[in-house]
A and B are shown apart, each in its own frame.
Chain A
């Protein structure tokens, strides 16, 4: 390694090793291993890791939002399947990305374990022998003093605070900064540990989204989720059986000024039990304030409106009475879209009713007369509907947010409905009443066992990193010998093992400190008149 100018700690092979001379599988394997664990390969793999992540931010990702991926497919029907072939909508779980980081971590292990062994040996050994020629070191200094060689070496020990010092004949050899290497090994091992923790977490955990309307509840079972993403080895049959009931939800919005319409607060009051029939507890769910129940974290992701509709058939019987969650188009207006499906009107499958609705929390008109909403809070809630009659096609699975209108007959558009208004459907098909609205929350439940281990390994990595970056291993030698004139010639040399600047300045400080101490010592010693002369 270029930075390690001495023997110890030079574990990783540097540069690009040449191909093996003797052929044979073993030779090739050795060579491949050497290439893989070289710093240059690590560098290239780090680059690939960074470059490979870029498409993961440019293209929509399934881990982030399946909806956006679907939209992309719809808008780019030619290109999308091709991109998908290269896993570009699942970059971070794709085989090619896995190949990069697995290679990187193999390289890391191959790099760090030998290094750790070398370091373990270095820690136990004594500082190296003093080299014969100190003048060859990056820093060296010479001066003479009246103090005896013994006194010089004694003072040198005092100046070299924090160094491990060993005496070799007429010199001392000192070394410090062992923790840097330990920190480096710790850092890399912690990264390895982090990867393992993350992998384990994603293999055994799960994440799911659900939508709960006010005064309604949720039971933690597989079918209750709108979307669920279990890990490879997650046992979904034995998930914690907690229940949640949404008592009330309140969203606050800023009413005035530039920021009008910006959300100010969300609060959901929940009642929950750890198992059906268990003792009831309450929790105030807010953004940044999740509910933790039976090892599962439940978070507030978003909210919306669920207008309530009462549908009567031609005979005046109530055939539908429900709050229907609508999805908002944007957060500033909260214009929301939804679908009401009435499969059973009592007149057979060909007389099913379907409605495509728009909910406007604060209805207003744009200058060109279009209906919109001017505020996300529900101050003037209005609904408009388009009605259809016919077969909803519910035998096939379908989204609750979409109405298949092919094969259905239009009933036209409703007037703008305020709460309590009823739209009488044409041809005696019945009526639909906009009866009011409720709010709903979308929640995410998440079980990830890696949370704590990931945090611990990451914190360890930071600790190791700080040691690596800020501890500067260095060596100092001091040699003292009586010269022909009876004065002691002192030679001091320093070697920084890492190329962090400031080493020479520090060695120089050591030299001046040592010289100063010796001067004081010999000043106190009147039997040594000679040095007042030269050192002043």
Chain B
């Protein structure tokens, strides 16, 4: 029998890390405020042509080339509410992102290990990924308009993390002493963050879709709901993120089962955590199928996507607290 002292925790790093979490939350809150103003009061502006844009939105303005383009899509132009505040919000978000990154690194240094070993660290990392995805989408797909929506669950989750899940940095239980932590958990975090942004985009899609339906009936749609980008664009972004996240999730499950094989002697044992990862996987497979099934594309498929993210959250919160299993390290 031996007793180890808790691996010496680097106190400076630990307190720096704790300060950074709070600073990050404040920063995101400020960004959210600015994004919300942009969404509500910005000018409806055509987005530049880009990867996910309908080509008619600018690219075909090829009068100079003498090229005459004919695009048969039902979709109008891609427009979003824009204002200079949004650009500032994006910068503030990027600042928050850097704080988040620094927070995770300092925490890792403080504890002397990979900084995802408990629920608090997991939530913070997933939010970092979600914000990273938001930044990426803003630059790549001009999807800055998602900021007002993505930062809401991010702030909620961070709040829950700080208030209820927080533990001091420290060493891990033996089961987590493995190089599979960086592989398996990282895959889950990356996929989880992308699923989150996709789910939020899905909800935005549903709202935008409803606004379209109302407008088609001749009704006025007031407020942010009436100023959202076209549902087609939102749908494409949300789908694109699933294309990124679903294979990662698949990989994460496989990596997890290799680890389970090493750690627990079986690669799959229907532990509650495993069951719910499987459920999420099946739901997202159903989402992809639904998009290829007549009569299911659009809102129905998107509901499946939102349901998928609900199962991810359920897996994270409910399964860790409600069910006992090998995975409970809450």
- Contacts of A38-55 to chain B: CB distance below 8 A: 39-40, 42-43, 46-47, 49-50, 53-54
**CB within 8 Å for A252 and B266 given contacts A3-B292, A53-B279:** no
A254, B6: Cβ atoms closer than 8 Å? yes
**CB within 8 Å for A135 and B261 given contacts A50-B282, A64-B325:** no
**Complex interface: chain B residues within 8 A of A262 (CB):** 170-171, 173
**CB within 8 Å for A50 and B171 given contacts A143-B67, A251-B1, A465-B250:** no
A250, B2: Cβ atoms closer than 8 Å? yes
**CB within 8 Å for A515 and B282 given contacts A288-B178, A454-B267:** no
**Does A129 interact with chain B (Cβ within 8 Å)?**
no
Question: Nearest Cβ distance between residue B95 and chain A, in whole angstroms?
Answer: 31
Q: Looking across the interface, which residue of chain A has its beta carbon closest to that of B60?
A: A508
A255, B3: Cβ atoms closer than 8 Å? yes
Of the residues A135, A515, A534, contact of B70 by C-beta under 8 Å: A135
**CB within 8 Å for A57 and B275 given contacts A207-B265, A502-B52, A512-B67:** yes
Q: Looking across the interface, which residue of chain A has its beta carbon closest to that of B276?
A: A57
Bound-state CA distance A142–B72 (Å) is: 14
Of the residues A260, A265, A502, A535, contact of B65 by C-beta under 8 Å: A535
**Complex interface: chain A residues within 8 A of B54 (CB):** 504
**Does B37 interact with chain A (Cβ within 8 Å)?**
no
Q: Looking across the interface, which residue of chain A has its beta carbon closest to that of B3?
A: A255
Tell me the interface secondary structure of chain A in the complex.
Answer: mixed
B258, A2: Cβ atoms closer than 8 Å? no
**Does A92 interact with chain B (Cβ within 8 Å)?**
yes
**Complex interface: chain A residues within 8 A of B295 (CB):** 15, 40
A459, B283: Cβ atoms closer than 8 Å? no
**Does B205 interact with chain A (Cβ within 8 Å)?**
no
B290, A43: Cβ atoms closer than 8 Å? yes
Bound-state CA distance A253–B62 (Å) is: 71
A252, B3: Cβ atoms closer than 8 Å? yes
A61, B270: Cβ atoms closer than 8 Å? yes
**Complex interface: chain B residues within 8 A of A507 (CB):** 55
Pair count A-B, CB < 8 A: 229
**CB within 8 Å for A254 and B4 given contacts A50-B279, A63-B269, A288-B178:** yes
**Complex interface: chain A residues within 8 A of B324 (CB):** 68
**CB within 8 Å for A266 and B174 given contacts A501-B52, A501-B240:** yes
**Complex interface: chain A residues within 8 A of B175 (CB):** 287-288
Q: Looking across the interface, which residue of chain B has its beta carbon closest to that of A58?
A: B323
**Does A299 interact with chain B (Cβ within 8 Å)?**
yes
**Complex interface: chain A residues within 8 A of B247 (CB):** 462, 465-466, 469
B69, A508: Cβ atoms closer than 8 Å? yes
B168, A258: Cβ atoms closer than 8 Å? yes
Most A Cβ at <10 Å: residue of B2, B49, B259: B2
**Complex interface: chain B residues within 8 A of A3 (CB):** 291-292
Bound-state CA distance A504–B59 (Å) is: 10
Question: Nearest Cβ distance between residue A382 and chain B, in whole angstroms?
Answer: 15
**Does B33 interact with chain A (Cβ within 8 Å)?**
no
Kindly state the interface size class of chain B when it binds its partner.
35 or more
Bound-state CA distance A61–B319 (Å) is: 15
Question: Nearest Cβ distance between residue A328 and chain B, in whole angstroms?
Answer: 15
Bound-state CA distance A256–B171 (Å) is: 12
**Does B222 interact with chain A (Cβ within 8 Å)?**
no
Bound-state CA distance A47–B301 (Å) is: 12
B55, A504: Cβ atoms closer than 8 Å? yes
- Contacts of B125-156 to chain A: CB distance below 8 A: none
Bound-state CA distance A253–B1 (Å) is: 9
**CB within 8 Å for A258 and B267 given contacts A288-B177, A465-B247:** no
Bound-state CA distance A355–B283 (Å) is: 53
5 contacts between A and B (CB under 8 A): A3-B291, A91-B270, A140-B71, A252-B4, A264-B174
**Interface residues, chain A, CB within 8 Å of chain B?**
1-3, 14-15, 39-40, 42-43, 46-47, 49-50, 53-54, 56-58, 61, 63-64, 68, 91-92, 135-144, 198, 207, 250-260, 262-266, 286-290, 297-299, 301, 377-378, 439, 444-446, 448, 451, 454-455, 458-459, 461-462, 465-466, 469-470, 499, 501-502, 504-505, 507-508, 511-512, 515, 534-535
8 other contacts beyond A258-B168, A505-B49, A508-B60, with CB at 8 A cut-off? Answer: A2-B293, A43-B296, A57-B272, A139-B55, A253-B4, A290-B262, A462-B251, A512-B67
The 7 A-B residue pairs whose C-beta atoms are closest, nearest first, are A299-B265, A504-B55, A57-B275, A501-B236, A57-B272, A444-B265, A46-B286
